[in-house]
Structure 1
Amino acid sequence: MLALCVSCALPAGSRNDRREQPRVARETATLPDGTPLEGSVVEQGAAHAPDLRAQIPWPNVASLWGWGALRIWGRPRDDEMHVHAIVDAPARARRWGAMCDVRMEIDGERVALRASYIGRPLTRGVYDAVRLDLSIETLRAIARADRVEGEVCGDRFEIGAEQRATVARFVERFDDLAVPSEPLRGAPPSSGPDLFLPGWDDEIWPTPA
C-alpha cells in the first residue's frame, strides 16, 4: 500500500549521513491519532454555491505534530475548471520559504506548478505552507494515475492508491456540483472561495499567534 509520504529535514546528528539515508517518512496505514491516510471529502456552504473540500493528511517526521495535510478546495458553480490547494507541514521553526520549489510527476510526466509561500506564526512553532492553483484536469490525471510523486520545498512525497481514490471522489463530486440540478434563478452571486488558510478553523491546528 502506497501512502502520501514525505521526506523531511533530518535531526542535526544525522545530517552528515543525509546522502546515505532515505529521506522518506515511514509509511503507515493511519496517523498516530488514528486518522486514516486516505483523508476525506466535505461539502460546505450555500446550496447555490457550495464549497467542496478535501483533506489528505500525510506523515512528516519534521512536522510539529508528526504530520501535515494536503488541502484542496473549490467552488464548482463559480469555476468548474480550477481548484485551490495548500500543502502544509507545521514545524517548530520555519523550514520552508518564498523560494520553495514544488514539482510533481504523474506517471513519469512532469507537471508545471507555481506555488507561493503562505506560512504564518503559530502559538507553538510555524505554520509552514505553500498555496497552489490547480486545474481540475490535473486532479483528474492524479486520480487515474498509477504513480504520483514529487517534492515540496525539498520534502519528497508520494500520493498512494487510497489517496488517489479520495482525489477521484473529490473530482466526481466536483463535476456533479458544477452542473446545477435545477436552474439557479435569482441566486445571488458569490465571491469565490474564501482566501483564509484552510485548517485554521479545524481542531487539528492551534490558533495562530
Structure 2
Amino acid sequence: MRTHIKTIAFDADDTLWVNEPYFQEAENRFCELLAAWLPPEAASQELFNTEMKNLHLYGYGIKGVILCMIETLTRVSNGTAQLHLINQVLELGQELLNKPIELLQGVEETLEALHRKYRLVIATKGDLLDQERKLTKSGLQDYFHHIEIMSNKQVTNYQKLLKHLDCSPANFLMLGNSVKSDILPVLALEAFAGHIPFHTTWKHELHEEKVEHPNLISLNNIADIIKHLD
C-alpha cells in the first residue's frame, strides 16, 4: 500500500534537471567533426558502439563519453585525424562539465512539499565528481537525507541501497524518467516506482514494451506524485 511509503528516491538527470539534451547537442557536434569520414547517422552509431564496448570500463558520465569520442575519432579516421580535432572533442567535454543546471518544472516545489513528510534520497548514475557538482549547483542538496551515486541501476544496486537505508521495499518509492534503470529493477524488488517521462532518452535507456505492475505509478510530471501519495 502506498500509505506505507516512507522513503522516496529521485533520479537526478532528466528527472530533477536537464541532462540528455546537452549530450545530444555535444554528440551532433562530434558527428560534424567526423564528416570527412562518415555521415552523421553512421558516426552516431559508431560512437554508440564504442560506448557500449567500454561501458563496463568507464561507467556512465561525461568523462567516459569523451574517451569514447576520442577512440571513435581515431578508429574511423584510421589514425589520420589531426590533433586539433581531438582538442575539439576535449573542449566538448569541458563545455558539458560546465553546463548550467536547469531545474525541471515543479521540482523544487515538489521537494518542498515532500521533504518534511518523507525521507528523500537521490539515487542516480554517473561520475561521482560531476554529479556532486550538479547537485551543489542545483541548490537542492538540503532536501535530501542521503545521496547515492550508483555505478549502475540493477536489482543488486537497489538492494544495496535499501540495505544501507535500512528500508523495506514496501516502504520505498523510486521516481525517475528511465523505465530500464528507475522502474523495472525497483518493481522486481516489489517496491514502488513512479515513471516521469522526459521528452528525450539516450537509446541505451530505451524500453519500448508496456510495463504493468500494481506498484507502478505513471506520472505526467514530478508534481503529480503529491496527489498519488495523499
Shared fold by TM > 0.5?
A: no
Q: TM-score, normalised by structure 2?
A: 0.27
Structure with the largest fraction of strand: 1
Q: Which structure would you say has the larger RCO, counting Cα contacts within 8 Å and 6 or more residues apart?
A: 2
Instruction: Determine which structure has more spread, i.e. the larger CA radius of gyration.
Output: 2
Structure with the largest fraction of helix: 2
Q: TM-score, normalised by structure 1?
A: 0.29
